[in-house]
Amino acid sequence: MTKAGSKGGNLRDKLDGHELDLSLSDLNEVPVKELAALPKATILDLSCNKLTALPSDFCGLTHLVKLDLSKNKLRQLPADFGRLVNLQHLDLLNNRLVTLPVSFAQLKSLKWLDLKDNPLDPVLAKVAGDCLDEKQCKQCANKVLQHMKAVQVDQERERQRRLEIDREAEKKWEAKQRAKEAQERELRKREKAEEKERRRKEYDALKAAKREQEKKPKKETNQAPKSKSGSRPRKPPPRKHTRSWAVLRLLLLLLLLCVAGGLVACRVTELQQQPLCTSVNTIYDSALRGLRSHDILRWVLQTDSQQ
């Protein structure tokens, strides 16, 4: 094992083989991140360095077989710690670890593990047990690996369950969206149909009104000849005019009766000698002679006398 404890120079210049042992003074000189430049290191001792965390680049040391992180202040290991698939010996004595990353289950080559003097979760502490000798440390490695595999399976199952729940929720949301879109399409379709029906009714109303306007002049034209030809009976005159004619005819009848009565009185009675009746009789005789001189009237009078 080569110890990189001298100051100055490159880290690779300090490393003669594949084993590296760093002390506290070495870490003050060489940052832990630079360890990623040593991908082929197989044994690494970082004990007693007051480390509180490891960078994610640290897990690139996939050739590590033995790793000593004891007596530090580590609160957690990197999430991808399981990338150290060749790791067989891991010492985490006297740190501040409560849990281990789920990727710890991928350390299939792990044969030895020490987790003493850590404030572990009670379940993990019970699984790990003591590591007082070689046998117990080997049992600790085996039991912790089995436990972390079970945790990984449970987490994967939980992840799948949540994923399924999310998928179901997404399906429900999509179904709800489709139903909403279908409802909106149906509403737009109904509104479009109602608008179309309204326009059709307006068009039919306008067309009917136009036909009515076209029919009116024809009816007036057809009514005019009928009134002239007399096919339709004339309306009776107003009752006011009928009454006037009746009164006029009655007055004429009374006048004729008066004239006839006066004529008879002047020709038959003793009044014929009166001057008025003499004038009346003269006018009557003259009118009668004039009428007799007319051929038609004479023919009528002869016919009447023969009968």
Could you say which of 3.40.710.10, 3.30.70.270, 3.40.50.2300, 3.80.10.10 is the CATH number of the domain covering 13-150?
Answer: 3.80.10.10
DSSP for residue 71: S
In angstroms, the CA 294 to CA 120 distance is: 164
What the block records as the tokens of 273 is: 């000698």
pTM of the model: 0.51
What does the pLDDT profile of the chain (307 residues) look like in tens digits?
333 333 333 444 444 445 555 444 344 434 555 665 566 788 999 999 999 999 888 888 999 999 999 999 999 999 999 999 999 999 999 999 999 999 999 999 999 999 999 999 999 999 999 888 999 999 999 999 999 999 999 989 999 999 999 999 999 999 999 999 999 999 999 999 999 999 999 999 998 888 888 887 665 555 555 555 555 556 555 555 677 788 888 888 888 888 777 777 777 776 667 777 777 778 877 877 776 666 655 665 565 555 5
DSSP for residue 90: E
In angstroms, the CA 287 to CA 50 distance is: 172
What the block records as the tokens of 66 is: 């033995």
What is the share, in percent, of the chain residues with pLDDT greater than 90?
A: 46
Give the mean pLDDT of the chain.
Answer: 79
Q: What is the pLDDT of residues 91-101, one digit of tens each?
A: 999 999 999 99
Closest by alpha carbon to 77, among 53, 61, 95?
Answer: 53
Q: What is the pLDDT of residues 171-189, one digit of tens each?
A: 999 999 999 999 999 999 9
Question: Taking the domains of the chain in order of start, what are their residue ranges?
Answer: 13-150, 270-306
In Å, how far from its chain's centre is CA 117?
Answer: 63
- Confidence at residue 213, expressed as pLDDT on a 0 to 100 scale: 86
Closest by alpha carbon to 104, among 126, 122, 81?
Answer: 81
